[in-house]
Amino acid sequence: MSNLDSKKPVITQRRRFLSVMAQSVGLSALGGMVWTGYIEEAKSAPLILRPPGAKPEIDFLRMCIKCGQCAEACPFDTLLMAKPGDKKPMGTPYFIPRDVPCYMCTDIPCVPVCPTGALDEESVSSVVEGEKVLDINRSKMGLAVVDEESCIAYWGIQCDACHRACPLMDEAIVLEYKRNDRTGKHAFLIPKVISEACTGCGLCERACVTEKAAIFVLPIEIAQGKVGGYYIKGWDSKDEKRLEDVSTDVATQTKRSELAPQDYLNSDEVLFDD
Amino acid sequence: MTNFLKKYRFLMLRRLSQIGILVLYFSANAYGFKVLTGTLSSSLLFGVIPLSDPFAVMQMFAAGAILGADVLVGALIVLLFYASIGGRAFCSWVCPINMITDLANWLRRVLLLDKTEKKVWLGRSVRYKVIVLALILSAFTSVAAFEIVSPISMLHRGIVFGMGMGGAAVLSIFLFDLFAVKNGWCGHICPLGGFYSVASRLSIIRVKHNQPNCTLCMKCKDVCPEKHILSLIGKESGDVTSGECTNCGRCIEVCDDDALSFGIRNYINKNG
């Protein structure tokens, strides 16, 4: 009898404690992983356009408390609060320029009301006569991009709707004149976006006459490429100066760079490899 | 009629408070009637006083945000109010989800679901684990983890700015509370409720029990959404001191024997 009893597992206090702990930790990890998966999916909306003065997206998502005071302050109802189903980070403000662009209020009502600083007043201010004043033209909500194939100005049809709609006409969008070889007697009046001046307000996208806008605003980091350090504009004396700082040391040591080039090319490894 | 008013006095006041707050937020956005602008996450009262959700601010800190002064002052004001005076009153007097879960709870009583359904087990301490999890995940994902899934903000922001598919989240909570776990969301899972439970442990407005009047009818325990806090009923006079009490006052209204009332917490004489 006592033999049978001894085969029954004994549930000690310690065993109970350990298994309860393991259960808590395990279930928390399970919940945490599901939750993290959702968050990572939910916060990735690379094509979203933020209000003026918004911090870079990563910091913006950290700092935005999703209160909607910016959207409330917007007199044009440009700013929307992302709803479930919008496939945007929930509760954060954004705008769709083709529907309602940013009308570039000079007093920028949406920015100073932000309680957390996710919309940064500093980034949309400039100093005039020693005084800090709001300057909506400094905002960088995005960058307008032209699809040359669907822009009718590139076909040779005269259209400067975007150019005229631009609040920084001839600064952010300029018209480039080119000879139209097809007719031989007309000119192309082609819209070009100057990235340094463009605020990304989207008034051009709103004004575009094509069925789906041929000029549209994208977040700057999506719209722009990056050259990197390898190329230098030799004709630009300022850029050329960068050469002075270039060191001649080879930074990376690989198997190839250990030997002089002819030594490497004559080595067994290269000559007799298959 | 006067009896009815007396029987539901706190319930009616709470609905008035909950709906009134929603109306104020809504009309600030829709009609420019700016008494209370923003949402429950962060708002401005009378255009001057900032009010912010302290739990949201905590998560944002965990996510690594450096925040503006307005939101910090706002969070401090709200935290100090509930921690010193109001207790966990946010849950029963402000939060719009409370109306949804109360409806589920009422249906539970009417349909006798508590007596007939299969019980699903869920601990009441889960909410504290969810708080810890929310803070850890905020640090991992660099975004306030609960705020991005919170059905409270979904419903509240939905009412002020437009609902979208947020109704599905609210319906899920309703169904969960109705068919899965009694008081499942507010009393078990919601980390905001958990946060206020911890924060308001020492607050002064408390439900008081006068034991000699008690007839042990247990009506108070039937309606209480956190009934473990009423452990003193019929045993001893005193304050309901648990932070988990939402100060909803349902127990006071249903008591026919004048054994429960609101009062100021007795800090000076423990035996008085």
- What is the CATH classification number for the domain harbouring B232? 3.30.70
Same domain, B121 and B39: yes
* A117 secondary structure, DSSP code: S
The rounded distance, in Å, linking the Cα atoms of B240 and B265 is 9
The rounded distance, in Å, linking the Cα atoms of A73 and A92 is 15
The 3-state DSSP class for residue A86 equals: coil
pLDDT digits over B98-157, tens only? Answer: 999 999 988 988 888 888 877 777 888 889 999 999 999 999 988 999 998 899 998 999
Is there a domain that residue A87 lies in?
yes
Partners of A133 in beta bridges: A126
pLDDT digits over B221-239, tens only? Answer: 888 888 888 888 888 888 8
Candidate from B56, B63, B136 with C-beta closest to A32: B136
List the 105-144 stretch of A: residues with Cβ below 8 A of B. 113-117
Query: A209 — phi, psi (to 5°)?
Result: -85, -15
Return the ∠ at Cα B184 (arms to B179 and B188), rounded to 5°. Answer: 160
The mean pLDDT of chain A is 88
Proportion of chain A above pLDDT 70, given as a percent: 92
**What's the domain count of chain B?**
2
Residue of chain A whose Cα is closest to the Cα of B49: A115
**Final residue belonging to a domain, choices A74, A109, A138:** A138
Is there a domain that residue B269 lies in?
no
List the 160-189 stretch of B: residues with Cβ below 8 A of A. 160-166, 168-169
Structure confidence at residue B91 (pLDDT): 93
The rounded distance, in Å, linking the Cα atoms of A97 and A95 is 6
- How many C-beta neighbours within 10 Å does residue B189 have? 19
C-beta separation of A65 from B42 below 8 A: yes
**Final residue belonging to a domain, choices B173, B199, B225:** B199
**Final residue belonging to a domain, choices B147, B167, B199:** B199
Same domain, B59 and B193: yes
pLDDT (mean) for A24-33: 89
* B49 near A CB under 8 A: no
The rounded distance, in Å, linking the Cα atoms of A159 and A209 is 8
pLDDT band, residue B48 (cuts 50/70/90): confident
Would you list the DSSP string of chain B? -HHHHHHTHHHHHHHHHHHHHHHHHHHHHHT--TTEEEETTEEEETTTEEEE-HHHHHHHHHTT----HHHHHHHHHHHHHIIIIITTHIIIII-THHHHHHHHHHHHHHTTHHHHSPP----TTHHHHHHHHHHHHHHHHTS-TTTTT-HHHHHHHHHHH--TTHHHHHHHHHHIIIII-TTHIIIII-HHHHHHHHHTTT-SEEEEE-GGG-----HHHHH-TTGGGGTTTTT--EE---TT-----HHHHH-SSS-EEEEE---S-TT-
Q: Which residues of B touch A35 (CB under 8 A)?
A: 133, 137, 145, 149
Judge: A43–B165 Cβ closer than 8 Å, yes or no: no
- How many C-beta neighbours within 10 Å does residue B117 have? 14
Same domain, B68 and B175: yes
C-beta separation of B183 from B239 below 8 A: no
pLDDT (mean) for A261-266: 71
Return the ∠ at Cα A112 (arms to A129 and B46), rounded to 5°. Answer: 130
What's the CATH code of the domain at A176? 3.30.70.20
* A86 near B CB under 8 A: yes
Through-space distance between the first and last CA atoms of chain A, rounded to whole angstroms: 76
Is there a domain that residue B272 lies in?
no
Same domain, B174 and B211: no
C-beta separation of B59 from B195 below 8 A: no
Q: Which residues of B touch A38 (CB under 8 A)?
A: 149
- Quote the distance between the C-alpha of residue A175 and its chain's center: 26
* B145 near A CB under 8 A: yes
The rounded distance, in Å, linking the Cα atoms of A86 and A256 is 53
**Final residue belonging to a domain, choices A188, A205, A222:** A222
pLDDT (mean) for A222-249: 85
The complex scores an ipTM of: 0.86
Same domain, B182 and B219: no
Same domain, B89 and B69: yes
Proportion of chain B above pLDDT 70, given as a percent: 98
pLDDT digits over A45-57, tens only? Answer: 889 999 999 999 9
Structure confidence at residue A137 (pLDDT): 92
- Output the six-digit token pair for B51: 């009010």
The 3-state DSSP class for residue A202 equals: coil
Is a pLDDT exceeding 50 seen at residue B272? no
pLDDT (mean) for A218-233: 90
Structure confidence at residue B30 (pLDDT): 85
Is there a domain that residue A249 lies in?
no
Half-sphere exposure of A254 (CA within 13 A, CB side): 4
With b meaning 16 or more CB within 10 Å and e meaning fewer, what string describes B21-38? bbebbbebbeeeebebbb
Higher pLDDT, A210 or A244: A210
Same domain, A132 and A154: no
Is there a domain that residue A151 lies in?
yes
Residue of chain A whose Cα is closest to the Cα of B140: A36
C-beta separation of B256 from B217 below 8 A: yes
Mutation target for A interface from B29, B31, B39: give the one with most A CBs within 10 A: B39
Half-sphere exposure of A79 (CA within 13 A, CB side): 26
Same domain, B130 and B156: yes
Residues in Cβ contact with A168 at an 8 Å cutoff, skipping those fewer than 6 apart? A137, A197, A198, A199
pLDDT band, residue A270 (cuts 50/70/90): low
Judge: B157–A81 Cβ closer than 8 Å, yes or no: yes
Residues in Cβ contact with A120 at an 8 Å cutoff, skipping those fewer than 6 apart? A53, A54, A55, A111
Q: Smallest Cα–Cα separation from A145: which of A102, A88, A96, A204? A: A204
- Quote the distance between the C-alpha of residue A184 and its chain's center: 42
Is there a domain that residue A14 lies in?
no
Same domain, A127 and A154: no
C-beta separation of A189 from A156 below 8 A: no
- How many C-beta neighbours within 10 Å does residue A244 have? 6
**Final residue belonging to a domain, choices A138, A160, A182:** A138
Same domain, B221 and B145: no
Q: Which residues of B touch A31 (CB under 8 A)?
A: 130, 133
C-beta separation of A77 from B32 below 8 A: no
Judge: B154–A90 Cβ closer than 8 Å, yes or no: yes
Question: A120 is in which domain, residue-wise?
Answer: 57-138
Question: B225 is in which domain, residue-wise?
Answer: 205-264
What's the CATH code of the domain at A120? 3.30.70
pLDDT band, residue B269 (cuts 50/70/90): low
Same domain, B93 and B78: yes
Is there a domain that residue B271 lies in?
no
Instruction: Provide the residue type at B51 as one letter.
Output: L
- Output the six-digit token pair for B14: 């709470």
Same domain, B157 and B109: yes
Is a pLDDT exceeding 80 seen at residue B251? yes
* B39 near A CB under 8 A: yes
**What's the domain count of chain A?**
2
Is there a domain that residue A22 lies in?
no
**Final residue belonging to a domain, choices B161, B178, B199:** B199
Is there a domain that residue A35 lies in?
no
Candidate from B38, B63, B66 with C-beta closest to A68: B38
Is there a domain that residue A67 lies in?
yes
The rounded distance, in Å, linking the Cα atoms of A146 and A189 is 13
Judge: A115–B64 Cβ closer than 8 Å, yes or no: no
Would you list the DSSP string of A131-185? EEEE-GGG--S-EEEE-TTT-HHHHT----HHHHH-TTBTTTEEEEEEEETTTSS
Q: By CB neighbour count within 10 A (0-12 exposed, 13-18 middle, 19+ buried), where does A187 fall?
A: middle
The structure's pTM equals: 0.84
Kindly report the nearest CA distance between residue B119 and chain A, in angstroms. 20
Residue of chain A whose Cα is closest to the Cα of B128: A28
Same domain, B235 and B121: no
Residue of chain B whose Cα is closest to the Cα of A63: B65
* A80 near B CB under 8 A: yes
Helix ranges (H only) for chain A are: 2-7, 13-43, 57-63, 69-73, 152-155, 161-165, 203-207, 220-223, 237-240, 261-265, 268-271
